[in-house]
A and B are shown apart, each in its own frame.
Chain A
Amino acid sequence: MPSGVDQVMPNAARVYDYWLDGAHNFAADRALADKIQQVLPGIRDAIRVHRAFLRRAVQFLVDSGIRQFLDVGSGIPTVGNVHEIAQRANPECRVVYVDKESVAVAHSELLLAGNDRAAVIQADLRDVEKILDHPQTKRLLDLDQPVGLLMLAVLHFVPDSWDPAGIVARYRDRLASGSYVTLSHATTDGSPAGLAEALRFYEQTPEPMYLRGYDEVLRFFAGFELVESGLVGCAFWRPSGPGDSCNSTEMNALAYAGVGRKP
């Protein structure tokens, strides 16, 4: 079986789904998730508040007039997907999902069947041109108009050798003025107990994580103007209700999040 489709190997997207109480996962995913949860008990809360950030950010973008979204590193469709949030806010919204993992892509295809305003592309996020010039992208997105680019919890899987800031810049250069980037990234800054051990579990998967500090994450917004509340722990980005945060400060800020606008 090709490495892209490996039922036995745990997969970060399916682990994430499990923490979100989804059932789109396999025994190996749950085993890894449980191990991490043992050493980092707050992880479910951290994932939940991160997901809540996604909802608020998409809502913010729709409120700001954005009608087209490009979600790079979308993972498997789990609760509260971008197109559900955006299209509930405005049915005209169009969404292109991008992931390199074939199960996630196949799953997204199943989910999106019959939705002619959303599509999924299988690609590596480094293939900026392939993604932006893909027929599905051309069908759904007008790059002359502002786009909401989403890169949520994905750049912490990108090593420095790939030049993640350069990758973001390549997207930025192709986007129209008035476009937004929405970005979240796990960090070691809060140094919660058990994080280092949790990361070691990730090292055994095909997707090791590269956590970064505040300044490093901030650099990804180069060429964008951060909107209010800036780059913050994701629970603290424009909170709107009790579910947007949890009672652990460390978990509320396990991932930095921000939204930047291309002037």
Chain B
Amino acid sequence: MSADPPAQSGLTVAGLAHVWAAAASQTTYLPVSGDELEQLLTRLINRLVTAVAAAPTDEQAAIEVAAELVARDLTGSSSISRSLEVLEDGLPRLAELQHVGQRGAAISRVLSTLAGGYAEVLRQRTLDEQAEVTQALLQAKLGTERELWISEARFRQVFSESAVGIAISDLGGTVVTANRAFARIVGRTVDDVVGTALPKLLYSADQPADEPTLGEAYHKLASGELTQFRRQGQLTAASDEVAWIFLAGFLLHDPEGVPTHHVITTEDITELHLLQQELGRQGLHDRLTGLPNEYYFMSRLKDALEAADPSAMITVSRVNLDSFSVINDGIGVTAGDFLLCSIAARLQELFAGERAMVARIASDDFAILIEDDTQRDLSQLAATINTRLSEPVYFGNQGIAVSVGIGLVRRRAGGISAGELIRAANTTLHRAKRVGPGQWDLYDMEYDIRQRERCQLAAEIPGAWENGEIDVHYQPLCRLDDGGIVALAAVLRWERADGSVVGHSDFLELAEQTGLVVSLGQWILEKTCSVHVQALNHRREKPPLLRVDLTAQLSQDPDLVGVVRAALVATGLGAQQLWLGVPLTALTRGHGDVVDNVRTLAELGIKIVLIGAQADHGYLAYLEDLPVGAVEIAPDIVARIAGRPGNDLLVARAIRQVISLVRSTGVTVIVPGVDTPEQAQWWRDAGADAALGTHFGFPAPPFDSH
């Protein structure tokens, strides 16, 4: 404070503050009461007074006052100019500054520093506030985007978890997005479905004529003819399984109302549908594949034959899976069922649109009836069926493929019954199957007749057996080096009532074909053993052994061991006196029962003869693994070598090698069909041990066999 008296127009700090507050509060909104404002301004004036009085003037203080003015919101467009006016006028008049020399200049310096500082601080605050509002804008954007994202995510979750299949396609029908349920219903992955044309996934069968197909409904939707549709229908899944679905389609529009996408929602109602259909279908349809069953097929075949013009051609095809049991036993029944359904669907697809019926008439047997079928190239048809069915179907990750045997018959509708037609197809199928897997054949009447005769013959076997028409003869099995008898081989002989004779191998083949051989097995064993024992009773010298050959079916009969033991017990023949012939083919088919039988029989002391050995080494492993006593060369090898004696044949050289290998393991080598001394010589040279054949003796009734 100055001791000098106040200036003439003296002004107090409080008075200046009052004037300043009134001026400032008109320039902008100040969030304080009038009293508070005056208190604030009083404090600021006092700081300015100190700054002006200091030597040199305190410009830093001026800047701080400027900052406080801005902080206190004295920031209206005219706030600073009005404030400077008030201060320029008031400060010089304050008593507190009267003593300051050159105060006019000092005040001027301080106020100009204040003005400059104010501008800078206000610029900073404006920048801060701009940054703040921009940040707020960004934040709001992010918040809005997050909300969108959340609502989108929520939609996504509903979309992907929904049990209802949903697919959204563009107007061209290409799927843009689809959920898992949709993919499951059409039997594909979501990735597969996306990018696929929707009509490709939709298909309909059993369509009421007055309703559009699913594909048509979809097209109408696409063209705008329909805005929405709802219906039931069928969908072919990629697996060729047929799904029944409830389906609704509608259009999606953009905000301007222009259609942009289609939405298809689907529900799998297959089970419901099946339930509805089951009762009606059970009687005439196969439950697994939904195809007509044998009963339906036969009645349709009868109807077709009756209705057709007698000169019209009718084709019946029988299709049988090769080694279906491999799928069922190897992969599982589910896979087997899956395969059957696929085959059913594929066959139906091949004959869709034709006057044809595809039926499943037994486990792995299908039949196809084609009416009015004159022009078709049947070899082409067979090739088409085999090609289509041999494409693998995927069960899980496992691709399953089977070949099929096909029998084809085409006959005029007049003059043949449904039963004859299907039987002819069966015969043809069996002939094809006999050739090997994947074969087909056309009906051959001559073969059919022959086959019918054989079947008739086979059908007579049980009666012949009852009537004692089947006899056992014996053929000597002799050592090649000295011609001594090693064993007597039992040979079956059927002399029919008309005098004709059915030989051993024919008889066994017939028995095998009809499945009679298993029930004949016990009889054959007992008969041969008992005849042998009787024969032995008439001899004095060292008794020869008995050799009985089993068929493939007999070899794998799980009861074989029991049957053999019973025969031995019943006849009193020692096990060591019995040789049993087991076809190598029965072993190579890999049936476990054969191996078990061979092991157990060998343990009993019976000598096992593997019959039908070829010139290869394939069976040598059995000699290591199984207790085999002898190996018999296959008759066709023997016949081949007989036709070109010497060693220039590859087969001859191979067989000599095999014989030496076999003998090195201590296993006897037997040669059948040796009819000449030259043959006997050749085989002796080749290293074989024993032989059968007319050179050594014809089959003969027991009492003559010595």
Contact, CB under 8 Å: A80 / B137: no
Residue among B29, B128, B136, B148 making CB contact with A107, cutoff 8 Å: B136
**In whole angstroms, how far apart are the Cα atoms of A107 and B137 in the complex?**
8
Interface bits A97-112 vs B (CB < 8 Å: 1, else 0): 0000011111101110
Q: Is B139 an interface residue (CB 8 A)?
A: yes
Contact, CB under 8 Å: A110 / B135: yes
Contact, CB under 8 Å: A106 / B139: yes
**Residues of B with C-beta under 8 A to A4:** 140, 144
**In whole angstroms, how far apart are the Cα atoms of A49 and B137 in the complex?**
28
Within 8 A of A (CB), among B16-47: 21-22, 24-26, 28-35, 37
**In whole angstroms, how far apart are the Cα atoms of A241 and B24 in the complex?**
12
**Residues of A with C-beta under 8 A to B33:** 55, 59, 240-241
Contact of A21 with B77 at beta-carbon distance under 8 Å, contacts A5-B140, A80-B31, A102-B144 already known: yes
Contact of A22 with B25 at beta-carbon distance under 8 Å, contacts A5-B140, A102-B143, A106-B143 already known: no
Contacts across chains A and B counted by CB atoms under 8 Å? 111
**Residues of B with C-beta under 8 A to A1:** 141
Of A7, A55, A103, A247, the most chain B CB neighbours within 10 A belong to A103
**In whole angstroms, how far apart are the Cα atoms of A47 and B135 in the complex?**
25
Contact, CB under 8 Å: B129 / A20: no
**Residues of B with C-beta under 8 A to A244:** 34
**In whole angstroms, how far apart are the Cα atoms of A243 and B25 in the complex?**
4
**Residues of A with C-beta under 8 A to B30:** 80, 243
Interface bits A211-246 vs B (CB < 8 Å: 1, else 0): 000000000000000000000000000001111101
Within 8 A of B (CB), among A1-48: 1-2, 4-5, 7, 14, 20-26, 47-48
Residue of A nearest to B23 (CB): A242
Contact of A5 with B141 at beta-carbon distance under 8 Å, contacts A47-B29, A243-B30, A243-B37 already known: yes
Q: Is B68 an interface residue (CB 8 A)?
A: no
**Residues of A with C-beta under 8 A to B31:** 51, 55, 79-80, 84-85
Contact of A242 with B133 at beta-carbon distance under 8 Å, contacts A23-B126, A79-B73, A80-B31 already known: no
Q: Is the interface of B mostly helix, strand, loop or mixed?
A: helix
**Residues of B with C-beta under 8 A to A47:** 29
Residue among B29, B127, B141 making CB contact with A243, cutoff 8 Å: B29
Q: Is B627 an interface residue (CB 8 A)?
A: no
Contact of A242 with B129 at beta-carbon distance under 8 Å, contacts A5-B137, A5-B140, A107-B136 already known: no
Contact of A242 with B29 at beta-carbon distance under 8 Å, contacts A2-B148, A106-B139 already known: no
Residue of A nearest to B128 (CB): A23
Q: Is A175 an interface residue (CB 8 A)?
A: no
**In whole angstroms, how far apart are the Cα atoms of A51 and B25 in the complex?**
12
Contact, CB under 8 Å: A106 / B137: yes
Q: Is B668 an interface residue (CB 8 A)?
A: no
Contact of A48 with B144 at beta-carbon distance under 8 Å, contacts A103-B137, A110-B135 already known: no
Residue of A nearest to B145 (CB): A2
Q: Is A96 an interface residue (CB 8 A)?
A: no
**Residues of B with C-beta under 8 A to A247:** 26
Contact, CB under 8 Å: A20 / B28: yes
**In whole angstroms, how far apart are the Cα atoms of A105 and B137 in the complex?**
9
Contact of A242 with B26 at beta-carbon distance under 8 Å, contacts A21-B77, A79-B31 already known: yes
**In whole angstroms, how far apart are the Cα atoms of A24 and B25 in the complex?**
21
**Residues of A with C-beta under 8 A to B140:** 4-5, 102-103, 105-107
Contact of A107 with B35 at beta-carbon distance under 8 Å, contacts A23-B125, A102-B140 already known: no
Contact, CB under 8 Å: A80 / B35: no
Contact, CB under 8 Å: A5 / B144: yes
Contact, CB under 8 Å: B29 / A79: yes
CB distance from B1 to the nearest CB of A (A): 29
Residue of A nearest to B31 (CB): A80
CB distance from B19 to the nearest CB of A (A): 10
Contact, CB under 8 Å: A52 / B132: no
**Residues of A with C-beta under 8 A to B144:** 2, 4-5, 102
**In whole angstroms, how far apart are the Cα atoms of A115 and B75 in the complex?**
25
**In whole angstroms, how far apart are the Cα atoms of A76 and B37 in the complex?**
24
**In whole angstroms, how far apart are the Cα atoms of A17 and B668 in the complex?**
115
Contact, CB under 8 Å: B133 / A76: yes
Within 8 A of B (CB), among A44-102: 47-49, 51-52, 55, 59, 76, 79-80, 84-85, 102
Within 8 A of B (CB), among A140-186: none
**In whole angstroms, how far apart are the Cα atoms of A24 and B125 in the complex?**
10
**In whole angstroms, how far apart are the Cα atoms of A52 and B36 in the complex?**
14
**In whole angstroms, how far apart are the Cα atoms of A244 and B29 in the complex?**
8
**In whole angstroms, how far apart are the Cα atoms of A55 and B133 in the complex?**
23
Q: Is B199 an interface residue (CB 8 A)?
A: no
**Residues of B with C-beta under 8 A to A52:** 29
Contact, CB under 8 Å: A243 / B137: no
**In whole angstroms, how far apart are the Cα atoms of A5 and B148 in the complex?**
13
**Residues of B with C-beta under 8 A to A111:** 132
Residue of B nearest to A247 (CB): B26
Contact, CB under 8 Å: B26 / A103: no
**Residues of B with C-beta under 8 A to A103:** 133, 136-137, 140
Contact of A21 with B76 at beta-carbon distance under 8 Å, contacts A102-B140, A110-B135 already known: yes
Residue of B nearest to A104 (CB): B136
Residue of A nearest to B77 (CB): A21
Q: Is B223 an interface residue (CB 8 A)?
A: no
**In whole angstroms, how far apart are the Cα atoms of A190 and B28 in the complex?**
23
Of A2, A47, A106, the most chain B CB neighbours within 10 A belong to A106
Contact, CB under 8 Å: B37 / A110: no
Residue among A2, A21, A22, A106 making CB contact with B136, cutoff 8 Å: A106
Contact of A24 with B29 at beta-carbon distance under 8 Å, contacts A103-B140, A105-B140 already known: no
**Residues of B with C-beta under 8 A to A55:** 31-33
Contact, CB under 8 Å: B143 / A20: no
CB distance from A245 to the nearest CB of B (A): 9
Of A5, A80, A104, A243, the most chain B CB neighbours within 10 A belong to A243
Contact, CB under 8 Å: A20 / B139: no
CB distance from B53 to the nearest CB of A (A): 30
Q: Is B387 an interface residue (CB 8 A)?
A: no
**Residues of B with C-beta under 8 A to A48:** 28-29
**Residues of A with C-beta under 8 A to B128:** 23
Contact, CB under 8 Å: B37 / A241: yes
CB distance from A66 to the nearest CB of B (A): 18
Residue among A2, A22, A110 making CB contact with B139, cutoff 8 Å: A110
**In whole angstroms, how far apart are the Cα atoms of A25 and B140 in the complex?**
15
Contact, CB under 8 Å: B136 / A241: no
**In whole angstroms, how far apart are the Cα atoms of A246 and B26 in the complex?**
7
Contact of A24 with B133 at beta-carbon distance under 8 Å, contacts A5-B144, A80-B29, A243-B26 already known: yes
**Residues of A with C-beta under 8 A to B26:** 242-243, 246-247
Known: A76-B133, A79-B31. 10 other contacts (CB 8 A): A2-B144, A2-B148, A4-B140, A21-B75, A23-B133, A59-B33, A104-B136, A107-B139, A241-B33, A243-B37
* Listed A/B pairs (16) with beta-carbon separation below 8 Å: A4-B140, A5-B141, A21-B73, A24-B130, A24-B136, A51-B31, A76-B133, A79-B29, A102-B143, A106-B143, A110-B132, A110-B135, A110-B139, A240-B33, A242-B21, A243-B26
Chain B residues at the A interface, C-beta cutoff of 8 Å: 21-22, 24-26, 28-35, 37, 73, 75-77, 79, 125-130, 132-133, 135-141, 143-144, 148
7 nearest A-B pairs in the assembled complex, by CB-CB distance: A241-B34, A243-B25, A80-B31, A107-B136, A23-B129, A106-B139, A102-B140
